[in-house]
Amino acid sequence: MNIVITVGMADYKIGKTPNKLMTAGLGSCIGVCIFDLKLQIAGMAHIMLPSSKEITKGSPMKYADSCIALMLSEMKKNGVSNMRLQAKMAGGSQMFAFAGQTPLLKIGERNAEAVENELKKAGIPLLSYDVGGNFGRTINFDIETGNLHIRTFKHGEKVI
């Protein structure tokens, strides 16, 4: 029997087949899936902000740098090898636009860049992504196939 493991905002979860991972409400947040297809293990994180170095309040799972590090550490305890890890991500929308907006307010874009940088640092290839726009996303990750199902309001569904 497969179970859908729900990942909340500023959290991550690890799953194994036949289970699936899901997170909803990705606006400027990023949903990142890191997986080992051979061992059929994956982690999904729902990241809210780019860096724990800028803001030190709250859970370390809010931030791209600290959340990905924690998730990778737990995945390694389950036997995954960095050599086989791959990633996919979605989210990073610009949900609101303001006149004269500074780059600091472009949280979605900054989140996507931060996740990409953390994956590069860890040597994990980013196979595909669906980021940007001005709409929210819900994502479901199939650990068995490595398919990331993305559902959007008024923009349909796709699989990457």
> Which residue is associated with the tokens 């500023």?
10
Is 33 catalytic? The answer is no
Cite the DSSP H helix spans in 78-106. Answer: none
Structure-token pair, residue 150: 């993305």
Catalytic residue of the set 10, 14, 26, 29: 29
Contact 106, 83 (CB under 8 A): no
Q: Is 93 helix (H, G, I), strand (E, B) or coil?
A: coil
At 72, list the tokens. 């990778």
Angle at 145 between CA 139 and CA 150, to 5 degrees: 20
* Catalytic residue annotation: 29
